[in-house]
């Protein structure tokens, strides 16, 4: 009874919000169980990575994955949800959201979910701006979280996985751009597929950009902008890294709804006082039992940037890591 009522509220709430674009960020999201910050969590994550994740079966830490034969295979137009987190990267988020406006899909219905914190005023202003833009086949779903929940990316991804009504859900980062024909070529490539996890076979990336690069200096005011493709080059991925990395996890909706995103690994559902390295992305692939399958998808662009949000600004560690990243090609 209660679940039926909740379903009806969600259904009619969405219909209502679709008529009022500027309220899109009030889209109803399932609240999943999270844990308060504690001093042992970082140690527990390393223990999982180095020991327990190598000797214990995945089935202890997830619900049953639906058999492939029982999963829905899309034919024709279908529903896709793209999920990002943003903290302090309004400049790059602007490119991402602009790419949906500049190149809206025609072969799928897209829900754009962005998790953010109210304290990040530039990101909030960017989301408020785009929520006023109505595009065919696109629904904005901008969802505020406390900083503690936002900084542990597994929390938001788990909420999205459990809440999604889409046929497929793409977990990504706010520095990924969905350029011309990206979404329609994805729609073509997923026709009839029942696999659990896919990723783009290739992407185009910038050089490692410093904070003062003109490409990253667009957040003075919210706007719709586009990239200059000559600033990007084809990224030749080493075979050892040929897998569904954190920004490129395209998951079957039936699988996402069934197991969430590292939901039963409490270490990845524990709030944090700062942005954390996303070990949960690797754990999620481990839970699925696959690194994913590559798909040819057009127009996947990646802004490669020096500054990482998980390091304290101007700290010694931040400077060391920035120098390391600058030395990377």
Q: Check: CB of residue 276 under 8 Å from CB of residue 308.
A: no
What band does 168 get if pLDDT is binned at 50, 70 and 90? very high
pLDDT band at 221 (very low <50, low <70, confident <90, very high): confident
Binning pLDDT at 50, 70 and 90, where does residue 329 land?
very low
Judged on CB neighbours under 10 Å (0-12, 13-18, 19+), 73 is middle
Q: Has domain 25-327 been given CATH number 3.40.50.1460?
A: no
Burial status of residue 315 (CB atoms within 10 A of its CB: 0-12, 13-18, 19 or more): exposed
* CA dist., res. 138 & res. 124, Å (int): 19
Report d(CA 226, CA 244) in Å as an integer. 26
Q: Provide the 3-class DSSP secondary structure of residue 169.
A: strand
Q: What confidence score (pLDDT) does residue 239 get?
A: 62
Copy the structure tokens of residue 239.
């075979």
Is residue 310 very low, low, confident or very high in pLDDT (cuts 50, 70, 90)? Answer: very low
313 pLDDT tier (thresholds 50, 70, 90):
low
pLDDT band at 301 (very low <50, low <70, confident <90, very high): very high
Give me the pLDDT at residue 135, please.
97
- Domain ranges (residues) in the chain: 25-327
pLDDT, tens digit, for every residue of 112-151?
999 999 999 999 999 999 999 999 999 999 999 999 999 9
pLDDT > 80? residue 80: yes
Residue 307 has pLDDT above 60, yes or no: yes
pTM, 2 dp: 0.87
- Residue 227 pLDDT level (bands cut at 50, 70, 90): very high
Question: What percentage of the chain has pLDDT greater than the value 90?
Answer: 75
Give the separation between CA 63 and CA 88, rounded to whole angstroms.
34
pLDDT tens, position by position, 20-64: 444 444 467 888 999 999 989 999 999 999 998 889 999 999 999
Mean pLDDT across the chain: 87
């Amino acid at each position: 009874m209660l679940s039926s009522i909740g379903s009806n509220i969600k259904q009619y709430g969405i219909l209502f919000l679709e008529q009022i674009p500027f309220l899109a960020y009030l889209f109803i999201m399932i609240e999943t169980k999270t844990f308060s910050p504690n001093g042992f969590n970082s140690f527990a994550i390393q223990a999982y990575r180095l020991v327990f994740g190598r000797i214990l079966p995945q089935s202890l830490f997830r619900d049953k994955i639906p058999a492939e034969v029982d999963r829905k295979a899309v034919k024709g137009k279908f529903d896709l949800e793209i999920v990002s987190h943003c903290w302090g990267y309004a400049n790059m988020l602007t490119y991402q959201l602009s790419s949906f406006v500049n190149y809206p899909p025609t072969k799928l219905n897209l829900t754009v979910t962005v998790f953010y914190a109210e304290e990040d005023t530039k990101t909030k202003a960017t989301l408020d701006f785009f929520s006023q833009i109505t595009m065919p086949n696109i629904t904005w779903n901008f969802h505020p979280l406390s900083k503690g929940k936002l900084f542990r990316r597994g929390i938001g991804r788990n909420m999205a996985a459990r809440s999604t009504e889409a046929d497929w859900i793409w977990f990504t980062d706010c520095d990924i751009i969905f350029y011309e024909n990206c979404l329609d070529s994805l729609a073509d490539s997923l026709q009839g597929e029942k696999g659990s996890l896919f990723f783009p076979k290739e992407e185009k990336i910038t050089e490692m950009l410093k904070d003062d690069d003109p490409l990253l200096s667009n957040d003075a005011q919210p706007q719709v902008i586009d990239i200059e493709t000559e600033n990007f080059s084809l990224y030749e991925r080493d075979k050892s890294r040929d897998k569904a990395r954190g920004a490129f996890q395209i998951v079957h909706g039936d699988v996402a709804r069934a197991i969430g995103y590292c939901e039963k690994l409490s270490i990845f559902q524990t709030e944090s006082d700062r942005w954390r390295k996303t070990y949960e992305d690797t754990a999620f692939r481990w839970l699925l039992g696959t690194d994913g399958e590559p798909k040819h998808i057009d127009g996947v662009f990646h802004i490669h940037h020096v500054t990482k949000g998980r390091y304290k600004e101007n700290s010694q560690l931040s400077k060391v890591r920035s120098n390391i990243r600058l030395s990377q090609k």
